[in-house]
Structure 1
Amino acid sequence: MSFVMADFYKRFVDEELDSEGRLKSFKLDLPENFNFSYDVIDELAKNVPDKVAMQWVNEEGEEHIFTYKDLSEKSSQVANMMLAHGVKKGDFVMAVLKRHYEFWFLAYGLMKIGAILVPATCQLKKKDYVYRFDAASISYIVATAEDDVPNQVDSALEQYSGMKEKFITHGAKEGWIDFLSEMDKYPKTFERIETHVTESMLMYFSSGTTGYPKMVLHKYSLAAAHIITAKHWHHLDENSLHLTVSETGWAKCAWGKMFGQFICGATTFVYDFDRFIPANVLKVIQDYKLTSFCAPPTMYRFFIKEGLENYDLSSLKYSCIAGEALNPEVFNKWYEYTGLKLMEGFGQTEGAVLVGNLYGMEPKPGSMGKPTPLYNIGIVDNEGKPVKVGETGEIVVYAKRGENPALFKEYYRNPEATDNAWRFGMYHTGDTAYMDDDGYYWYVGRTDDLIKASGYRIGPFEIESILMEHPSVLECAITAADDAIRGKVVKATIVLAKGYTASPELAKELQNYVKQSTAPYKYPRIVEFVDELPKTISGKIRRVEIRENDSKKNS
């Protein structure tokens, strides 16, 4: 155990490892007043003040190094500043800060005063802000000056009167307070304000694939729960230099660069970029000699197409994948070049990693892995009863509402959705999978995306994985389509790669390609070629929109 982690583990974590360092059991025993800012950031600042906590780099090559002492002092300055400007315990403060380092100052500062951080992506438009401001009663906002964010916010405020003050960074705008210059006016020390481990700390807006985004409200215990994410999934220690690519507006930021990484004593690497350019990210990994990396499968696919042989990635010791299900082809190509096996993890905005390939496990390409010891997880049918091995069902967590420290507190102001998620005395993820004989889980799809055709239950991911292996397919979505004879049939909506042209012959070729790789009843009887797929702001495919558009065409 590292010198950085020892005190935290001695006080709060009970875990058992086997002889090879693999996790057997994991339990959090948190004090009632646990607060990540005080009990981790400030404590590390006392014990290892000069250790590098975060290394920040942007596209222009500007660099900033922040020690644990820096994070402690700057978060205290933010806490003092926010209190002076009227922020109170329980207030909701929105952060639209891309990958700017100011996000960390703000996040830990708000935790110290008991205010609730509400991260948001810079891709939002006026209507998105209006909805979010109203839904959460946002009273303060801290935003980047980039990407037209201030103008979109000000436009939204013409329809919302609850905003008290606006802070800005990476630029200026009339009517906004300069975040950094204002912060520097305040003391670097802060006297602890007591918070409770079950009180509200952080709230995300979900991706909203089937409607308006829900507000996922988290308690202070989430921060400690993410130690399993960082130590046992990312496999970090005090020598690690880890990059998770997520923008701060998404829950993957909490997974990859807010909590567990710092408890491990690792250095969190932040690459602040606007547009994902595969060559640039690969160059960052190469030039800064990153040791650990986590990104969604789509990025790995682009890395492979970019040409991995053109970069020296030998510094990488571990690589993980999350955000969408992993195609085996991506796993195999990455392993072929780097010698690293992609360790997939599965979870949601609602909690820490649920199922994963933790350190020491042998991953099966395409499998999510096994349930993590932080939860009691199973797969059930529509009545909440366990299904057999190999049978598809919904992934659930057996726990009473509020009982598990890693799961969200509630869907804020939506008791109906909260009650529906916790029916039958268990938390329902809404994601389906099946378990094989070895206990590995295999993702099938969202419950709403399951296709029932000709008496069969068909998950979209398996078919999408097969199609993605064909060189002509850049992206695809599998959905159910109405059929006069069969009721429902499988439909493939496909975006072609460069150099390929849509034709009946290509559609037939793709249908046969699927038939040769899986049970014939699963092949797409309908193939539609499109220029792009409908997606959420976070980049998730909105299959529901494809289904709705098909229904409109047939009505």
Structure 2
Amino acid sequence: MNLAHEYIKDYREYTSYEDLKANCRLTAPEDFNFAYDIVDRYARETPEKRALVWIDDNSDEAKVFTFADISRESKRAAYWLTLKGIKKGDMVMLMLRRRYEWWFLLPALHRIGAVAIAASDQLLKTDIEYRTNAADVKMIISYDNPHVQEEIEKAMEKSPSVQYLVTVGPSREGWVNFHEEYEKIDPEFPRPVGEAATHNNDPMLMYFTSGTSGYPKMVLHDFTYPIGHIITAKYWHCVVDDGLHLTIAETGWAKASWGKIYGQWICGTAQFVYDMNMLKPDKMLTLISKYGLTTFCAPPTVYRFLVRQDLSKYDLSKCQRFSTAGEALNGEVYDKWLEQTGKRIYEGYGQSESAVICGNFMDSPVKPGSMGRPSPAYDVEILNPNDKPVPNGEVGELCIHVDQGHPYGLLTGYHKDISLTAEAFDGGFYHTGDNVYRDDDGYIWFVGRKDDIIKSSGYRISPFEVESVLQKHPAVMECAVTGVEDAKRGQIVKATIVLVPAYADKDKKEMEVEISTFAKENTAMYKIPRIYEFVNELPKTISGKIRRVEIREKDKGKDLEKIKQDF
């Protein structure tokens, strides 16, 4: 059973990307609610259909939850939440990593019409204080990690809106024990009517963006947001009915919405969840093989680790589709994966503010490193600073038309920030803030955030383009390319590099010469880094994106002339 077809207008099987883009149109019924219209529908009509297969590092075998289980437990959780005073419009923060209770509590909040706020377990006291006060959070639900819960407790003195701290693990002083209380509750929760009923334009879910600069923005999505992810799941991930899909993402950031619940369940595939303490490539590949995953999505960083394994040791034959997003995929990783598995990696691009905006959809040809082509859900334009379309090959800002209606899966706005919302939706477009260009085949290539572009001697240099070259060198695990102020050129290119462990103890001056020589042989002279810095780790946002702005800030005022290379 697959419910996706009911939300695609005049659905039929599409024969090509061009057919998909021209004819696939999403549609939402009045007052759509994911919990009642998807979870409960499956539970009524196919109660034994798998919804969730969950395992952690302490388990030998996975727990299996059917849609009947998810429906029952999310109703029980919704009833319990209302007994704690949670009502429509209240803000509830979930810090659950990948605990299976997330799949009970998220639909439970949807049933009530409360707003779920996804939050990473990496947040510290000040991060939590900012979020609770910015969003007027009423309840925080956390898993039983002492460090996480201690940071939450530290934040409570300056978090007056929070009425309850809830733990899904063992009892903790000052906390409500979720399992102890909710398991006593009747698993019934009728769909609310009247003022308590939810509507399509009501707020449902909120994400704090990664915050590459400044405080994180509060991205608000309404109840139609899950429908936008039908495109993500069906035509980019290419999930299959009664299949088993794994997206490697922690539930505290938006990739969880992309790959761990909405589109996948609407399309009838079960979620495989590995609640890992840290990435172990061998364990990950073993689980893919053991449980017969049919589709898999991970950021390029994960593929860089996986491809270093002997992939012939693992049976990946049941996995029909591998996909990636979050940053540009290095061509060498793509080639090695294809060589060892015979399977392509299909890239995609989007934001916390959206569903997948561009991607390699269906079986369309792949250009490694490209974001793919525009999603059928969005009418995309590449604009210059005057909001005029640019020709192929010219860099501009990726934007989405909103003048003919608000697309499904796109944010409704930034919570409590009218001016920022107006700026983002200026001129009949949603402005992504990302610079790209389109090639003659219609594929879109990421250049960088508008403030990441390096301008050197009249050239506009994409940090991602230089990083993609450097990452082909076997010594480079990760790198970040930034611009450094220079009297002669305006800016020069700097590379901040994390070395592969096997190279970590080598002389850094020798490594600089080796990598610099490699860069000269593989890219244009004007793009070559003039400055190299080797570090143990790169500064990143909570969601794992590199904070180039932090590197730039640290470099201000430094005397870098002595280590600058002249060519």
Q: Secondary structure at the match of 2:158?
A: coil
Q: What is the match of residue 564 of structure 2? A: none
Q: What is the match of residue 240 of structure 2? A: 237
Change (3 A) 1:339 1:161: same
Letter in 1 for 2:14: D
**Deviation at residue 138 of structure 1 after TM alignment:** 0.3
Question: Which residue of 528, 531, 534 corresponds with 1:529?
Answer: 534
Q: What is the match of residue 277 of structure 2? A: 274
In the alignment, structure 1 residue 318 sits paired with structure 2 residue 317: no
State whether residues 536 and 542 of structure 1, in contact with CA within 8 Å, keep that contact through their aligned partners in structure 2.
Answer: yes
Q: Using the alignment, how far apart are the partners of 2:248 and 2:118 within structure 1? A: 16
Letter in 2 for 1:111: H
Q: What is the match of residue 539 of structure 1? A: 544
State whether residues 16 and 362 of structure 2, in contact with CA within 8 Å, keep that contact through their aligned partners in structure 1.
Answer: no
State whether residues 146 and 171 of structure 1, in contact with CA within 8 Å, keep that contact through their aligned partners in structure 2.
Answer: no
Q: Using the alignment, how far apart are the partners of 1:290 and 1:449 within structure 2? A: 37
Q: How does 1:192-211 map onto structure 2 within 5 Å? A: 192-193=191-192, 194-211=197-214
396-405 or 217-226: bigger deviation: 396-405
In the alignment, structure 1 residue 23 sits paired with structure 2 residue 20: yes
**Deviation at residue 14 of structure 1 after TM alignment:** 4.2
Question: Which residue of 453, 457, 461 corresponds with 2:456?
Answer: 453
Taking every aligned residue pair, what percent have the same amino acid on both sides? 47
401-410 or 348-357: bigger deviation: 401-410
Change (3 A) 1:55 1:143: same
187-196 or 394-403: bigger deviation: 394-403
Q: Using the alignment, how far apart are the partners of 1:431 and 1:19 within structure 2? A: 31
Q: What is the match of residue 43 of structure 1? A: 41
Please give the per-residue CA displacement for 1:395-434, whole angstroms capped at 9, x wherever unaligned.
1101149712210011111222212211222111111111
**Deviation at residue 295 of structure 1 after TM alignment:** 0.3
Please give the per-residue CA displacement for 1:352-396, whole angstroms capped at 9, x wherever unaligned.
000000112111111111001100001111121111101111111
State whether residues 402 and 409 of structure 1, in contact with CA within 8 Å, keep that contact through their aligned partners in structure 2.
Answer: no
Please give the per-residue CA displacement for 1:93-144, whole angstroms capped at 9, x wherever unaligned.
0001110110011100110110000011111111111111111110011110
State whether residues 502 and 529 of structure 1, in contact with CA within 8 Å, keep that contact through their aligned partners in structure 2.
Answer: no
Change (3 A) 1:502 1:528: farther
State whether residues 168 and 177 of structure 1, in contact with CA within 8 Å, keep that contact through their aligned partners in structure 2.
Answer: yes
**Deviation at residue 161 of structure 1 after TM alignment:** 1.7
Q: What is the match of residue 297 of structure 1? A: 300
Change (3 A) 1:20 1:478: closer
**Deviation at residue 168 of structure 1 after TM alignment:** 0.9
In the alignment, structure 1 residue 378 sits paired with structure 2 residue 381: yes
Q: Using the alignment, how far apart are the partners of 2:288 and 2:186 within structure 1? A: 37
Please give the per-residue CA displacement for 1:181-224, whole angstroms capped at 9, x wherever unaligned.
32222222221122111110000111111121111111011111
Change (3 A) 1:401 1:452: farther
**Deviation at residue 315 of structure 1 after TM alignment:** 2.3
Letter in 1 for 2:112: I
Q: What is the match of residue 503 of structure 1? A: 508
State whether residues 16 and 364 of structure 2, in contact with CA within 8 Å, keep that contact through their aligned partners in structure 1.
Answer: no
Please give the per-residue CA displacement for 1:16-64, whole angstroms capped at 9, x wherever unaligned.
5433696243222212311111111111111101111111111112531
TM-score where L is the length of structure 2 = 0.94
Q: Secondary structure at the match of 1:158?
A: helix
Q: Using the alignment, how far apart are the partners of 2:553 and 2:500 within structure 1? A: 25
State whether residues 14 and 29 of structure 1, in contact with CA within 8 Å, keep that contact through their aligned partners in structure 2.
Answer: no
Q: What is the match of residue 70 of structure 1? A: 69
Q: What is the match of residue 283 of structure 1? A: 286
Q: How many residues align?
A: 551
Q: Using the alignment, how far apart are the partners of 1:474 and 1:11 within structure 2? A: 42
Q: Secondary structure at the match of 2:121?
A: coil
Q: What is the match of residue 222 of structure 2? A: 219
In the alignment, structure 1 residue 155 sits paired with structure 2 residue 154: yes
5+ long unaligned stretches in structure 2: 561-567
**Deviation at residue 539 of structure 1 after TM alignment:** 1.6
Deviant stretches of 4+, over 6 Å: none
**Deviation at residue 171 of structure 1 after TM alignment:** 2.3
Q: Using the alignment, how far apart are the partners of 2:38 and 2:295 within structure 1? A: 22
State whether residues 320 and 343 of structure 1, in contact with CA within 8 Å, keep that contact through their aligned partners in structure 2.
Answer: yes
Q: What is the match of residue 462 of structure 1? A: 465
